[in-house]
Structure 1
Amino acid sequence: GHAYRRCDLNGSWELVPGNNRTWANYSECAKFLTNETREREVFDRLYLIYTVGYSISLGSLTVAVLILGYFRRLHCTRNYIHMHLFVSFMLRAVSIFVKDAVLYSGSALEEMERISEEDLKSITEAPPADKSQFVGCKVAVTFFLYFLATNYYWILVEGLYLHSLIFMAFFSEKKYLWGFTLFGWGLPAVFVTVWASVRATLADTECWDLSAGNLKWIIQVPILAAIVVNFILFINIIRVLATKLRETNAGRCDSRQQYRKLLKSTLVLMPLFGVHYIVFMAMPYTDVSGILWQVQMHYEMLFNSFQGFFVAIIYCFCNGEVQAEIKKSWSRWTLALDFKRKARSGSTTYSYGPMVSHTSITNVATRGALALHLNTRLIPGSLNGHRNLPGYVKNGSISENSMPSSGPEQYNKDEEYLNGSGLYDGDRPTVLVEEERETVM
């Protein structure tokens, strides 16, 4: 298309009536706006996909962090690293929502939509922009890139931790936890700060959401390096698992069963290691209207947004230790609630002056011996209200008669990690609750 201006009789460009601006006709350029409708539909669909995905991931990860933080018996180095990874996924989701709210709503969006086809007929030049109005979106983009980088690096930390458990004979978990923490949160802060400083100095134009030439590699190279290293660790761990399966199951099961176990282990590790990043990592972005670009973006938005949900399901909700702790807590709560209900309906209080006597009046005629047994169990409880309650388990501890003892010595570290990942099918301690209901029925 072409833009047109007209000369007046004096040989100067014709001005816009009532405005000291040069008139220009951009109507032929407006036909290129028709493709924006199709592109807008694609972007709206992508926005819906990752908004739903990140919302589901954020909710499930929040529940997972609360569970791992509430139960003290789940506090260990492996779960601490899981919690850091969960938090990085949560911050990534929140930063995306904040970035979208700042960049694509409010005054910035209204200013973009104000340019219509009719406006193009009289636009001459863009007014100078005030850089102060872009401070908010610059901060939002910077934090988004930081939390995006920390998410990739905590995925790498998970790979390094699992690799260390398998290949290092002596591995001090507490000693390396601080190093992993600095690596996961500190290293991304370094290269994101360098990028922000260089961008503010050399390419401080509007919001920083658009690429500024080769400056993008300051952030992309460390992220791509983390993806490649994590993929190498993933391949090496799968190789070791396949070797161990062949050695331990030699002559005991057919090859198909071994392949099924290896496939299960591989599928469990894929969300943790972010293997899906490798698929389109080396593929450059093409035209928005191209089919390949749309396939790539739909794939990335779907898996990236739901990755946190998959990780929370596999490494928290399907974890045997987590399920055992939840069942124990639920059993204690229901047992205490049931006992309180039976105590209120099956006993009454008679007061004689300053003395108080608790006497059972339920089925005294037919079950006198049982009522007597109940009284002998309950009367000493006035000295210690919970000591002799049947089936009572002290909060934060486990009764010797109701729960089997389980400690760090029950698993070695690599089997414990694989158990939490669904890769190790060893014997898990069975939760037994002896309620002694015959004394309160």
Structure 2
Amino acid sequence: MEIQWAADIPSNMTTPRPKLYCNATWDTLYCWPATEAGSVAKEMCATVFTDIPDLVNYPDAYAFRECGQDGVWMKDGWTNYSQCLNVIDKQGEAMGVVDAVRYITFIGAILSLVTLAVTFFIFTYFRTLECDRLRVHRNLVVSLIILFIVMLVLTEPFVSNRQTISYRDVDWLCKTLLAIRMYAQMASINWMFVEGLFLHSRLTSNVFDSGAPFPLYYTIGWGAPLVFIVAWSVTMALHYPVRCWMSYSDLTYVWILVAPMFTTLMSLGSPWVLFARTVWCLPLWWERPERKWGSGAPPQKPPFPELDPLLLDAVYGLTQDI
């Protein structure tokens, strides 16, 4: 029998050397999986310290341990938690303020929901109040109700300190709630703009005497925010696949939402400034001696000479919309 030396054996027929691994181990805080020799096992601090939910706001903080070339954990199996401990120390300093803000937000959201629910009931139940003005009010109330409901859901796990599963443990649910919150926030701002636009149109022009253009109002109030939210959500899903989109406000993508909201807030001033200017000029316009109440008829005074009926209609709602 001829002996075939190892050098004569083709390279593709050699048996690969088995890889070395450090054994899976429990360090009293986390169960570390088996790790290939010569590599570093690391895990997010939020995954290790699940009882500290604020750690999810620090996706770059990791705990790690090193596996030696011989398949044995280095430094006697010591786990480096220094990054986690630094974050926890920083949180401890501001935890009192953060908790106070969360409780204030939670209680404020409950009180706001109660008052908004009563307002919505009045606007809906008493049909004699139905008019274009109240339709605008009702849409604003609905957007605020959605916003405060989501805020309650987002703050409840921190206030109750419950250990059961919450939205933060389900990535898609966490991201969906964030998107709904941003949508409701943008919609409420847009409906505030519609409020000012509606009052301005009632006082300064007769364009809407036949009825307010609600298709335009719905497009501004509900449609425009939806377009921006979808664009932002798709961008985040493609370019920032982080759990719950933590630290989203630090990214430039947030300007997809901030820019239109800021523009709308700045635009809010225009209708209200024009509205205030119109109210300021109404008494002077009312007292002009050359103003006539009909062709060739002498000037007449209404039952309430100090207030114009149009102003009463727009500001106090004492008359029905035409």
Match of 2:281 in 1: 243
Q: Map of 1:204-223 to 2, 5 A cutoff?
A: 204-211=241-248, 213-223=251-261
Rounded Cα–Cα distance in structure 2 between residues aligned with 1:77 and 1:66: 17
* SS of the residue 1:174 aligns to: coil
Q: Which has the higher contact order (CA 8 A, sep 6+)?
A: 1
Aligned length: 236
* SS of the residue 2:243 aligns to: coil
Rounded Cα–Cα distance in structure 1 between residues aligned with 2:83 and 2:143: 48
Match of 1:73 in 2: 128
CA displacement at 1:216 relative to structure 2: 0.2
CA displacement at 1:419 relative to structure 2: 1.7
Rounded Cα–Cα distance in structure 1 between residues aligned with 2:284 and 2:100: 46
Counterpart among 211, 219, 225 of residue 263 in structure 2:
225
Match of 1:95 in 2: 150
Q: Tell me, yes or no, if structure 1 residue 153 matches structure 2 residue 190.
A: yes
Rounded Cα–Cα distance in structure 1 between residues aligned with 2:158 and 2:240: 18
Match of 1:191 in 2: 228
Rounded Cα–Cα distance in structure 2 between residues aligned with 1:219 and 1:82: 24
Q: Tell me, yes or no, if structure 1 residue 59 matches structure 2 residue 114.
A: yes
Rounded Cα–Cα distance in structure 2 between residues aligned with 1:109 and 1:37: 24
Q: Alpha carbons of 1:137 and 1:108: their partners in 2 closer, same or farther (altered >3 Å)?
A: farther
Counterpart among 314, 318, 322 of residue 417 in structure 1:
314
* SS of the residue 2:244 aligns to: coil
CA displacement at 1:107 relative to structure 2: 6.5
Q: Residue by residue, what CA displacement relative to the aligned partner does 1:67-115 show, whole Å, maximum 9, x if unpaired?
A: 12112210110111111111111111011112334788667999x9xxx
TM-score normalised by L of structure 1: 0.47
Q: Tell me, yes or no, if structure 1 residue 14 matches structure 2 residue 74.
A: yes
Rounded Cα–Cα distance in structure 2 between residues aligned with 1:247 and 1:45: 52
Q: Alpha carbons of 1:142 and 1:154: their partners in 2 closer, same or farther (altered >3 Å)?
A: same
Code of the residue aligned with 2:144 in structure 1: it is F
CA displacement at 1:44 relative to structure 2: 1.3
CA displacement at 1:5 relative to structure 2: 8.1
Rounded Cα–Cα distance in structure 2 between residues aligned with 1:192 and 1:103: 26
Code of the residue aligned with 1:94 in structure 2: it is I
Rounded Cα–Cα distance in structure 2 between residues aligned with 1:419 and 1:158: 14
Q: Residue by residue, what CA displacement relative to the aligned partner does 1:29-50 show, whole Å, maximum 9, x if unpaired?
A: 7356333223111111111222
Contact 1:68 1:74 in 2 (8 A): yes
Match of 2:31 in 1: none
CA displacement at 1:226 relative to structure 2: 0.8
Rounded Cα–Cα distance in structure 2 between residues aligned with 1:182 and 1:29: 47
Rounded Cα–Cα distance in structure 1 between residues aligned with 2:243 and 2:200: 44
Rounded Cα–Cα distance in structure 1 between residues aligned with 2:201 and 2:232: 32
Gaps of 5+ in 1: 18-22, 113-131, 251-410, 421-425, 429-441
CA displacement at 1:28 relative to structure 2: 8.6
Rounded Cα–Cα distance in structure 1 between residues aligned with 2:125 and 2:276: 33
Matched-pair identity in %: 24
Rounded Cα–Cα distance in structure 2 between residues aligned with 1:135 and 1:83: 31
Q: Map of 1:334-349 to 2, 5 A cutoff?
A: none
CA displacement at 1:178 relative to structure 2: 2.5
* SS of the residue 2:213 aligns to: helix
Q: Map of 1:10-409 to 2, 5 A cutoff?
A: 14=74, 17=77, 23-27=78-82, 30=85, 33-101=88-156, 133-172=170-209, 174-211=211-248, 213-245=251-283, 247-248=285-286
TM-score normalised by L of structure 2: 0.62
Rounded Cα–Cα distance in structure 2 between residues aligned with 1:28 and 1:204: 22
Code of the residue aligned with 2:313 in structure 1: it is E
Q: Alpha carbons of 1:152 and 1:11: their partners in 2 closer, same or farther (altered >3 Å)?
A: same
Contact 1:134 1:207 in 2 (8 A): yes
Q: Alpha carbons of 1:248 and 1:97: their partners in 2 closer, same or farther (altered >3 Å)?
A: same
Rounded Cα–Cα distance in structure 2 between residues aligned with 1:135 and 1:40: 27
CA displacement at 1:412 relative to structure 2: 5.9
CA displacement at 1:234 relative to structure 2: 2.0
Rounded Cα–Cα distance in structure 1 between residues aligned with 2:67 and 2:103: 50
Code of the residue aligned with 1:232 in structure 2: it is S
Contact 2:147 2:184 in 1 (8 A): yes
